[in-house]
Amino acid sequence: MGRARRRTLGALVATATAATSLIGLAPAAAVVVEPFAKRYDEALYGDFIELGNAVLDCPSAPPDEAANCRDAQSGANNMNNNQFTMEYTDTAGLSATVINSSTGKVEIPPGAEVAYARMYWGGNTGTYRRFGTQLIDYCDTAGPATKPAGDPLTKQPVLKVGSGAETRVTVQNAVATPSTTGGPHYYTAEADVTRQFAGVPTGSEVPVAVGDVWAPTGKGCVGGWSLYVVYKYDAPEPTHAPDRKHVYLYGGHVVQRSSDPDTTIKVDGFYRSGDGPLRAGVTAFEGDRNVLRDTFLVNGTNIPNEEGVTNNFFDSHAMGCDQPCDDNNFSIDAKTVEIPAATIPQGATTANLTFRTRNDTYVPSALAFSVPVPDVEITKTASPKNIQPGDKLTYTVTAKNISRLPYPGAKFTDDLTDNLDDATYNNDAKAEPSGNVSYDEPKISFVGDIPAGETVTVTYSVTVNDPRTGDGKMRNNIDVESPRSNCEAGSTDPACGTTPVIEEEPAPVVPIGIVTKPVTPVVPPCTDTTNTITLTNATTTARKGAKIHWPVVKGGTPKASSGTVTRSGKNWVWTGDVPAKGKVVIKQTVTSSCTPGGVVVIPVTGDVPKTTCTPAKTRAGGTDPCVSVIVSKRTQARPAPPDSASSPELAETGGTSNTMLFGGLAIVMCGLGALALAASRSRRD
């Protein structure tokens, strides 16, 4: 007997009294334990596949109950699970220790990859509140329930995909009907299982096994699982993905009872185009085959289930089931249907998906939806990439409809907020070959039709402020208001934006004054003295990375008040910073020449721009603060002055004569080779 015929037989005798769980219940609204919320939202070349199964099955004994249960599953009688002591099924052959298991099968189209996969499971909690006060361990009013160990909200089912490993899934979004709610209580849970489908074979059926789903046993008990697998191609695929589709997955937990108002989930953010199929998938628990008037609607239109029935959408049938695979599994609906094309008109951007019942009670927990959409690819460029104050910067935005579907009324905006602190919009935006462009500060907006395969180009320009006024970064991004595009709100695609940079004006170089001089410029031969180099910064800005050098002479190692002194070959080198309105002092012990009249010369040279001690060949002669000269005193015999004693004495030379000292220094700056001549000219007879 076919499914449709069996349904007709059941419909002849179905009444509200068959649903004993409804006794005494008349809530004012559906029990929304967790509102339906989006779990996945992506436009891609692909679609979703749904499969599922129950983890409870008919009892094996006594024989008459077992036989009646099997007949009810096949549609030969009008009984339901409230009349049978439901038991675990264990058909997956898992190696892990599990209380139950069942299998399904999925076929990923050839050459596609799994973009996302999500598992849903649930069932009764094994508790029931009756007469508003009594909480009993029943799944339904027909008899007691036996609960397994553990907590339904934390128990981790086992999943095995193909030849992959058995893994315990990570529980997400686990919720249960509040214990204060009248009637039977349920729980639902979810898990992202994309990782378990990595590398799954394509083009052939792959077995999927699920086990250890927490579920009580007994009369009226339900338990099961479903899977939604989203596949994708990188580009259009003629057979399995000719058009881009916007795919949505939702999850929630709603107890939909006979007197409850509808529960509607609004799906938005798409742009319906073309003649490709519109599809919806649902998961729900406790849908009774023999209780009618439960429906699923899209935009108010009653949608036939997979067999064309419109007044009993939820009837405990799971698509993609394998072992077992009963026509009526008494636990879970996991089914996908095609939505009539007229239900969602061309150009629609929203759809209302509604759960309704006027008789049966069921618990929706998952919803999937897919709709064909056009595909616009946006690219934005700027020229030139680097600009100076006063320059003109031109932006070019190209929008190409890369799909085979027309895109009427495409909309996108370009926000200039981060430009207008640096530049002025030139009010010159235009679109070619068609479309309308407008400007409402700070946004440029485009509206127009983009035929399949065609491109629209929008150009505009700004002039960079002179002098500079902002942060120097001309960043802005495209935001496509009409889906679908690579530049939807929140996109990180680099093609959606560009950030030309206003070239930085070089920071002014802070000048540094340098003076070097010995504490005592004339000392006895072979005597130590101190030479001091002072770097001075008279400005209010620190000079970073200053550098000087001077020759190594006999004496000690230089010591600086800040910065670092190192030896490099025949030179000492100092590097460091000179603070604003501050100075750095370098002191060094220097040993004078052991030759009377000898001279030690220490020229200091700046190795960075804007110092007062440029290389020697660029400096003027004369008194030079960039050169220290240390002269050794010289003594000699000479006649005594007329008024002196008659005995001879040693006269002191080189004393403190500034004339001799600075005369020698001037000659040094004209050439160190003249120092001997300078010394000889300074002798006293």
pLDDT tens profile 302-323: 999 999 999 999 999 999 999 9
**Nearest CA to 331 among 120, 157, 552?**
120
Which phi and psi angles does 678 have, rounded to 5°?
-65, -40
Q: For 175-195, how does the pLDDT look when each residue is reduced to its tens digit (9 = 90+)? A: 999 999 999 999 999 999 999
Cα gap 486→400, rounded to integer Å: 11
Asked if the model's pLDDT at residue 219 lies above 80, the reply is: yes
CATH 2.60.40.10 holds for 513-681: yes
Percent of the chain clearing pLDDT 90 (strictly above) = 70
Q: For 46-87, how does the pLDDT look when each residue is reduced to its tens digit (9 = 90+)? A: 999 999 999 999 999 999 999 999 999 999 999 999 999 999
pLDDT, average across residues 419-434: 93
The larger pLDDT score, comparing residue 148 to residue 451, is at: 148
Degrees, nearest 5: CA angle 274-277-279: 130
Class for domain 376-502, per CATH?
mainly beta
What is the pLDDT of the chain when averaged over all its residues?
Answer: 86
What pTM was estimated for this model as a whole?
0.65
Cα gap 589→574, rounded to integer Å: 16
650 class by beta-carbon count within 10 Å (0-12 exposed, 13-18 middle, 19+ buried): exposed
Which phi and psi angles does 169 have, rounded to 5°?
-75, 160
Cα gap 597→71, rounded to integer Å: 128
3-state secondary structure of 647: coil
The larger pLDDT score, comparing residue 494 to residue 237, is at: 237
pLDDT, average across residues 338-367: 95
**Nearest CA to 103 among 160, 185, 164?**
160
Which pLDDT score, from 0 to 100, does residue 546 have? 95
Burial 303-337 (b: 16+ CB within 10 A, else e): bbbeeebebbbbbbbbbbbbbbbbbbbbbbbbbbb
User: What's the token pair of residue 108?
Assistant: 């990923």
pLDDT, average across residues 511-528: 93
Neighbouring CB atoms inside 10 A of 37's CB total: 10
Asked if the model's pLDDT at residue 684 lies above 50, the reply is: no
Q: What is the separation of C-alpha 638 from the centre of its chain, rounded to a whole number of angstroms?
A: 93
Cβ partners under 8 Å of residue 103, min gap 6: 53, 91, 92, 207, 208, 209, 210, 321, 322, 323
Q: What are the angstrom distances between the C-alpha of 278 and each of 205, 245, 368?
A: 24, 9, 11
pLDDT, average across residues 106-129: 98
pLDDT, average across residues 244-273: 94
Neighbouring CB atoms inside 10 A of 392's CB total: 13
Q: Where along the chain do its domains lie?
A: 3-11+32-372, 376-502, 513-681
- Domains 376-502 and 513-681 are alike in CATH topology: yes
* Bond prior to 484 in cis (omega within 30° of 0): yes
Degrees, nearest 5: CA angle 239-195-234: 30
Tracing tokens 């649930």 back to the chain, one arrives at 122
Cα gap 283→51, rounded to integer Å: 10
Could you tell me whether strands 627-632 and 522-523 are parallel, antiparallel, or unpaired per DSSP bridges? Answer: parallel
Which pLDDT score, from 0 to 100, does residue 646 have? 37
- Enumerate helices (H) and strands (E) in the chain, giving the number of each: 4, 48
Cα gap 643→237, rounded to integer Å: 122
Cα gap 230→249, rounded to integer Å: 9
**Nearest CA to 587 among 602, 568, 606?**
602
Q: What is the DSSP string of 415-458?
A: E-TTTTTTEEE-S--EEESS-EEEEETTEEEEEEEE-TT-EEEE
- Position 20 confidence tier, pLDDT thresholds 50, 70, 90: very low
